[in-house]
């Protein structure tokens, strides 16, 4: 421990714990689908605008679901995921 902070290993990646991948980014991707951009800067600006155009309640719902999934994972000590 250094400076009273305990370093923990990063948990394995799970899409269940990454709601942006499942909820918000597909909506943004669908909005940008089929468009062509003459420069990387214009693509970045289009992405920023799509992010800013998502209603606040979409972001709130996304993070509320994320907190619920994270709490379930904590409560079940990481056994939240089905073994394959």
State the pLDDT at residue 80: 61
10 vs 14: CA distance, rounded Å: 11
Mean pLDDT across 24-51: 92
State the pLDDT at residue 81: 58
Average model confidence (pLDDT) for the chain? 79
57 pLDDT exceeds 80? Answer: yes
Global pTM? 0.58
């Amino acid at each position: 421990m250094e400076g009273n902070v305990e370093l923990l290993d990063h948990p394995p990646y799970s899409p269940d714990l990454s709601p942006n991948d499942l909820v918000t980014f597909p909506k943004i991707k669908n909005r940008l689908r089929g468009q062509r951009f003459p420069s990387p800067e214009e693509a970045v600006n289009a992405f920023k605008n799509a992010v800013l155009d998502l209603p606040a309640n979409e972001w709130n719902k996304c993070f509320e679901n994320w907190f619920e999934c994270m709490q379930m994972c904590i409560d079940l000590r990481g056994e939240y995921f089905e073994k394959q």
